[in-house]
Structure 1
Amino acid sequence: MGEAEVERLLSRGDLEQVSPNDVHANALMEQANLDLDTARQLAQTNPTRAYESLYEAYRQSINGLLARQGLAVTREGGHVAYGEVFGHQTGGKEEYVDLFHEMRTRRNDLQYPTEATMAVFPEEVTERIEAVRLVQQMANSGRIGPF
């Protein structure tokens, strides 16, 4: 899925090819699971930290998938490339790209707050937990094969 788009990200330098590594991929997926659990645990008491953990769960799930495929995001690609590559590999499902970019932007706002930064409410976290869990399932499903 999305091979031409992944090739474009490779040629732009946003992704690089590395040796596929299931051990590394599994470690990243485990970290994503821990981050998702943290988000669940903190949603009511510390929603800002929960949101940051939820974003990391999403990003590490994609990172694990890429490690399994022999791909890695570069410094040039940065966090933006995670959403792009996952969207392409899921058949262009824009809702995943949009959600990732929304969460990335929101997480940046929380880590670099200004007077205009809105507080995170527990409902904002709980609304996204299921979406991130589905992303983890997709990344772990084996339906998105090696590149």
Structure 2
Amino acid sequence: MLVAVALGLLTGCSEGQPTGPTGSSAVTPSTATATADPSVVPTETAAPPPALRPEGTAADNLPYFASIVNAVWAGPDRASGRAYVDALAAGGFDKAAMQVTNDESTVGNAAESIQFSVLWAGECLIGQVGPATGDPVATVLPVVGDETCLLGRTRPIDW
């Protein structure tokens, strides 16, 4: 009888109790114990913003390149190849090492996508934006041909 009462009490304690939250925000007993220590003060350090690394590789500079591409994409000139070239040049990339495709098709329609590139340390930082692309794309690819990043027709960067 004592066993039955004890089982009833234990069962009563667990009945109707929530099983706890699910997913990554669930707190486990070990987590709760670790965060209860008042001598531990959590600190959050933000990563520094990407910056040009003149001595770095193309891969080293990809985060900075991508941040510039995303900033232009978020602005009013998102469909202008010149806006990307100018922003990259203002960010420290060499305009003479850049290529950009046309903003318009041969019949005057807005381009479905615009590509632009910077030749950097023997590799290519390449960006692509436009309605056909969706979100901006930034990547590092090998040089093609004789120190070229984009194949096909590109427009002169003469401004």
Please state which band the TM-score falls in when normalised by the shorter chain.
under 0.3
More strand by share: 2
Name whichever structure is richer in helix by fraction: 1
- Tell me which structure has the larger Cα radius of gyration: 2
Q: Which has the higher contact order (CA 8 A, sep 6+)?
A: 1
Q: Normalising by structure 1, what TM-score?
A: 0.26
The alignment's TM-score, normalised by the length of structure 2, stands at 0.24
